[in-house]
A and B are shown apart, each in its own frame.
Chain A
C-alpha cells in the first residue's frame, strides 16, 4: 500500500524544516566561514584556504596527529561499549521477570540511569570510583589491586567503560524487551511441541524478532558514544594526559579552551562529515531491514 503523493504535505513539514534549519544550517555556515580563515586575535581574520584541512588530515602535523589519535580512541571506545552493551542488554532483556509488580519495579530501576543529567553521571562515578572517598575505588584497593583512575590510563579507560555500561545498557535492554514482548505466545508453544532447545528458541524466534529494535539500539548507542563529552569530561577531564580525550573533548578544548577558531571549525566539519557518512550507512541498513520485514509480512 503506497502513500498518496501530495506535495502540499510540505506545508505540514515547513515549521520543522525552518526550526531545524535555523539551528543547523546557520551555525554550519559560521563553521565553514571560520574553517578557511586564520586569526591573530583582535577579531582580525585572514584567508587561509584549505590550510586547516590539509593540516588536519596529515598525521605528521601536530593538529593532524592529535585529531587522528582522538578519532582512533573514540572508535575503539565505541567498539568496546557496543561489544559489551549489546550482548549484556540482550541477556538482561531475556532475564526480565515475567509479570506482576516485579516488572514495573525492574523497569523503573532500569530506566533511572537514563534520566540522570550526564554531568551527574560523571559525578556519581567520580565519588564512587575515587580511591579515597568512593566505595568502588576503596573496595578494589582493599582487595590488594592498585587502582587509581586519575593517574593510570588503563584504570581511567576501565572506569569510563564501566560508567558507560552502567549508563546505557538499560537502553539496549529496554529496546530488546519491547521486541521480545511482541512475540506471540503461539510461537513458543509451537517451539515446545517441536522440542526446541532454549538456544534454538533464542536463535530462531527471539533474535529475528529483535533485529529491528537491535538496529535502533546499535545506531543510537554508536552515535551517542561517538559524540560522548560530558561524562568523561567530569570524570577524568580527558586525562590522565590525553588518554581519554575523545573527539568532542578535543574539539571543545581547541574551540573554547584555546579559541583556535579556524582549527576547531575545520575539525568540526570533518567530524560532522564522518558522523553523517556513518549515519547514512545505518539509515540505509535500517530502511532495507524495514522493507524486508514488510515483504515478509505481506508477500505480494
Chain B
C-alpha cells in the first residue's frame, strides 16, 4: 500500500529480524528437544540433536490415550465455533441495524462476559454441567467456551456488518426477498471475510483455553492439553514426550494461520479500521 511513502529503513528490518528471532527461538528449542532422546536432553545442551529420534512421536501416534486427546480437543473446538457463529450472526445483525430497548446495556453485558476471569466460573460450571449430565463430554466444554466466544463473535461480526451499507437491505426488501433468504443469499456472502475472522477467533480462544477444559472433563473427553500433564512419572519428567506433544499442538494453529494469512491484519483489528 504505502510502498513509496513511508521512509523504509534498515533499522526497521533490523528490529523485525530481532523480533522474529525472539519469537522463533523458544519454538525451535521445543522442536529440537522433541527429536532428542531423554538421555541426551538430560545430559547435554546442544543446538541440534546428535542423534535424531522419532520415538516420542511414535509413542503419541500409537497410544490411544494420547491421540484421543487431540480428537477430543478438536471436537469441542469445532462444536464451539459452529454454535458461536450460528448464534452470533443474527444478534450481530440486530446490533448493527436496529436500536432497541436495552441495546447498549445488553452489548456491554455481553462484552463484560468476554472479560470475566474463567477461574471465577470453574467451580460453578463443574456443578452446573454435572447437574445436567454433560460433565466429561465435549458438549460441556463447547458450551462453557461460549461464555467468552459468543460475545467476541458478536463484537467482531457487528464491526464487519456495520461496514455494509444499509441500502443493500432496503433494495433486497423492495426486490421481494424474505428476510431469511436475504440474509443467507445476499448478506452472508458480503461479510464472508468477517465470518472467517470470527470463526478464526472462536477457534483460537477455544483451542488455547485450558482451565475450563480441564475442570469440565475427566477421562472420556480429556483434551490434549490435559493429557500432557501426565508426562511426570516416577522416573522424573519425560521431557522428550512433553516436547513432542507440544509441537503437535502447535500444528493445527499454524495450519489455520496459513489459510487466513491474507486476512490476519484486518481480522485482528476486528473489522474496525
Contact = CB atoms under 8 A, between A and B. Distances in A.
Given A12-B91, A92-B15, A109 B151 contact: no
Contacts of B268: 171, 174-175, 178
B119 A116 contact: no
B128 interface: yes
State which size class the interface on A falls in: 35 or more
A134 B254 CA distance: 24
Interface in A13-65: 13, 15-17, 19-20, 22-24, 26-28, 30-31
A157 interface: no
Contact of B146 (A23, A26, A30, A124): A23
A185 B16 contact: no
Interface string B201-237: 0001001111100010000000011001100000000
Contacts of A149: none
Contact of A178 (B29, B106, B111, B273): B273
Interface stretch (B60-68, B184-192, B257-265): B257-265
Given A27-B128, A120-B228, A166-B22, A280 B108 contact: yes
Contact of B23 (A17, A28, A110): A110
Given A16-B91, A24-B116, A252 B211 contact: yes
B100 A15 contact: no
Nearest to A277: B112
A41 B84 CA distance: 38
B29 A128 contact: yes
B117 to A, nearest CB: 4
Contacts of A243: none
B90 interface: yes
Given A20-B110, A127-B239, A174-B264, A112 B257 contact: yes
Contact of B2 (A5, A185, A275): A185
Contacts of B2: 98, 180-181, 183, 185, 188
A92 B261 contact: no
A23 B210 CA distance: 17
Contacts of B59: none
A156 interface: no
B272 interface: yes
Interface in B23-68: 23-27, 29-30, 33, 41-42, 45, 47
Contact of B90 (A12, A104, A133): A12
A160 interface: no
Contact of B91 (A15, A91, A113, A169): A15
A97 to B, nearest CB: 7
Contacts of A261: 123
B16 A96 contact: yes
Contact of A275 (B22, B24, B115, B209): B115
Contact of A127 (B29, B114, B211): B29
Contacts of A169: 19
Interface of A: 1-10, 12-13, 15-17, 19-20, 22-24, 26-28, 30-31, 88, 91-92, 94-99, 104, 106-120, 123-125, 127-128, 132-136, 138, 166, 169-171, 174-175, 177-183, 185, 187-189, 192, 198, 201, 212-213, 216, 223, 226-227, 229-230, 247-249, 251-252, 255-256, 261, 264-265, 268, 271-272, 275-276, 279-280, 283
10 contacts: A9-B98, A12-B93, A16-B150, A95-B12, A134-B45, A135-B45, A183-B2, A248-B119, A268-B119, A279-B111
6 shortest A-B CB distances, which residue pairs?
A: A115-B253, A188-B5, A27-B124, A227-B117, A178-B269, A248-B119
